[in-house]
Structure 1
Amino acid sequence: MKPIAITRLTICGIDELPTHRNHGVSHVLSVLDPDREDPTIFGDFDPHERTILRFHDVIDDKEGRPAPTRADVEAILAFGEELKASHQDRRDGHLLVHCHMGVSRSTAAMIALMAQVEPDRDEDSIFTTIREMRPIAWPNSVMIAFADEMLGREGRLTAALQRHYAIQLERDDMFERWMTELERVREIEFGRALSKQKASV
Structure 2
Amino acid sequence: MPTSFSMTICGIEELAGHNQAGFTHVLSILDPQWPVPEAFGAYGEHERLELRFDDIIEETPGMIAPQASDVRALLDFGRDLMAEPGANLLVHCHAGVSRSTASMLLILAQARPDLGAEAVAAEILRIRAKAWPNLRIVELGDAALGRGGTLASAVIGLYREQLARRPELGEFMTEAGRAREVALAGGASSG
TM-score by length of 2: 0.93
Q: Distance in 2 between matches of 1:98 and 1:66?
A: 18
Give the alignment partner of residue 51 of structure 1, picking from 49, 62, 67: 49
Give the alignment partner of residue 36 of structure 1, picking from 1, 15, 34: 34
Give the alignment partner of residue 122 of structure 2, picking from 119, 128, 131: 128
Q: Distance in 2 between matches of 1:55 and 1:66?
A: 5
**Residue identity (%):** 42
1:75 lines up with 2:73 in the alignment: yes
CA contact (8 A) 1:29 1:97 kept: yes
Q: 1:108 to 1:161 in 2, by over 3 A?
A: same
Shift of residue 2, structure 1, vs aligned partner: 5.3
CA contact (8 A) 1:60 1:66 kept: no
After superposition, give the CA deviation of every residue in 1:32-77 in whole Å (9 maximum; x if it has no partner): 1111100011110122111111111101111211321111111111
Any gaps of 5 or more consecutive residues in structure 1? 194-201
Give the alignment partner of residue 18 of structure 2, picking from 12, 17, 20: 20
After superposition, give the CA deviation of every residue in 1:70-107 in whole Å (9 maximum; x if it has no partner): 111111111112213x42xx4x1210000000010000
Q: Distance in 2 between matches of 1:156 and 1:75?
A: 21
Q: Distance in 1 between matches of 2:42 and 2:2?
A: 27
CA contact (8 A) 1:144 1:157 kept: yes
Query: Which 4+ stretches in 1 moved above 4 angstroms?
Result: none
- Higher relative helix content: 1
Q: Distance in 1 between matches of 2:177 and 2:40?
A: 32
Aligned pairs, number: 187
Any gaps of 5 or more consecutive residues in structure 2? none
